[in-house]
Amino acid sequence: MAKKQSMTERVLNELRNDIINWNYNENDMITEAEISQKFGVSKTPSREALNYLCMEGFLEKIPNKGYLVKGISVMELQSLFQYRGILEKACAEMAIQYATADELRFLQELTEEHVKKAEGSTYQEYSEMNMDFHMSVAYLSRNRYLVSALENVLNNLRRVLCPRMEELWRQGASGGTHGAGGGADQAGCGAGKAVCGKRAGRCGIPYLLSGHKRLLRIGKRGDEDETDQSIAVV
């Protein structure tokens, strides 16, 4: 039976998604009273959720004012990409070590399902599918600390990439040569281009899905030397 969410968890998850999807802009100020009214809860779960988002790096507490939605500098973005690479390599290596044949089969089916759903999807929908895949690999590491750290890094990167990639996604869907994601293929990885411009042309659906498939093939062979080449960029 699925565990019932507490009020704090519900507020935390929904507010985090609101920030990731830019329902709040950088430098917006959020108050406990505002969140309590929005979600119909008392100030205690609102305060707990807001403080947790401060720990995750989404907000900064400003005494006597509220909670500021933080931006991310180019240097911070570069650090996030570097940290992500370290975490995902570790997750992939441990997943290869611990995953069962049934679990690898599930990943294969998940990738095939994503391929079918990708065409015609919005960037937000694809971002959620991509997150689902990478976290599915992370869970196979059997290491809850890796899972928690990677989830936070991916969420922060999704928040940075969302506005620019959504625009590129629409351009691709309305006439790009590669279908959904074609605009992203042509322009690089949106906000992340400042730190990974050399990867321009490798950030649309075809590249990301090929990364998923490479990881699955490596898992079947047990070739750990190639795990660092199997991680998708965005």
Category of 42 on φ-ψ map: left (φ > 0), alpha (ψ -120 to 50) or beta:
beta
For residue 18, give every residue at least 6 positions away whose Cβ sits within 8 Å of its Cβ, in sequence order, or none: 24
User: Distance (Å, rounded) from C-alpha 135 to C-alpha 148?
Assistant: 10
What does the pLDDT look like over 1-37, one tens digit per residue?
446 679 999 999 999 999 998 899 999 999 999 999 9
What does the pLDDT look like over 160-219, one tens digit per residue?
876 666 666 666 654 443 333 433 333 333 333 333 333 333 444 454 555 555 555 555
For residue 72, give every residue at least 6 positions away whose Cβ sits within 8 Å of its Cβ, in sequence order, or none: 80, 156, 159, 160
Q: Hey, how many other C-beta atoms are within 10 angstroms of the C-beta on 154?
A: 21
Alpha helices in 99-119 (DSSP H): 101-118
SS3 66: strand
